[in-house]
Amino acid sequence: MKLTYLGHSGVYLDTGDYRLIIDPFLTGNPKAAVKAEDIEADYILLTHGHSDHIGDAETIARRTGAPIIAIVELADFFQQKGLQVTGMNLGGSYNFPFGKLTFTPALHSSSVEVNGTNLYLGVAAGIVLNIDGFTLYHSGDTALFSDMKLIGSKHHIDLAFLPIGDFFTMGPEDALLAAEWIGAKHVVPIHYNTFDIIKQDGPLFTAQLEKQGISGHALQPGESLEQSQLTR
């Protein structure tokens, strides 16, 4: 499996058989590694409804036919646009062709502006994926919360994508605690440096992770990791 960081919170997974994209915000993203029209996807996974996470979901879904998997209210929003969706909820799991997906809690909001009004799109969530025995956790946008310990105890996480930008999500100090609490073997920081207000030092964060015995990978947008690099 190949995992590519697309910038902001966007992650692209190529399992060899399936291509998944999480939180595709490419158009209007000054740090985006690729253009939305260059993305081929079999599934689109969304953590919550903010525009910097669902940005290109509709256009990619229409072009590729990829179904959108999201919390039920967010899935309904896209279903009303004529797209194929699977709506789930917190704590729910399902064995998709690519592997098992579980939606976990996240402490954040979820809405999108429509005609000048914020439309409620359900709760924010994290995503745990188990693909051929490899477990990946994308926390979505979240504050630090103690039940991350429960997520880690249940799922034995090989790789976690955690926000460090602060202001809208947890910052580096809380993300260090989150990495420890979930028991992640490897961590990639996300949701930072896209805009000045969430500017952070990724390499400093990963150096601090190393002091905790956790392998950190401060990927630049467009950089990838192979599963073989994450087997310790």
pLDDT tens digits, 156-192: 999 999 999 999 999 999 999 999 999 999 999 999 9
The answer on pLDDT for 77 being more than 90 is yes
pLDDT (average), residues 58-69? 98
pLDDT (average), residues 87-105? 98
pLDDT (average), residues 14-43? 97
pLDDT tens digits, 196-207: 999 999 999 999
The answer on pLDDT for 229 being more than 80 is yes
d(CA 52, CA 214) in angstroms, rounded, equals 28
pTM of the predicted model, to two decimals?
Answer: 0.98
What domains appear along the chain, each with residue ranges and CATH number? Answer: 2-218 (3.60.15.10)
Q: Which residues contact 130 (CB under 8 A, 6 or more apart)?
A: 99, 100, 102, 136, 155
Which of 116, 138, 114 lies closest to 48, judged by CA? 138
Residue 191 has which token pair? 């949701």
If pLDDT is split at 50, 70 and 90, which confidence band does 68 have? very high
Q: Which residues contact 107 (CB under 8 A, 6 or more apart)?
A: 124, 142, 143, 144, 145
The answer on pLDDT for 231 being more than 80 is no
pLDDT value at residue 232: 59
pLDDT (average), residues 91-99? 98
Length of the chain (residues): 232
Q: Which residues contact 149 (CB under 8 A, 6 or more apart)?
A: 181, 182
CA angle 3, 169, 220 (to 5 degrees): 35
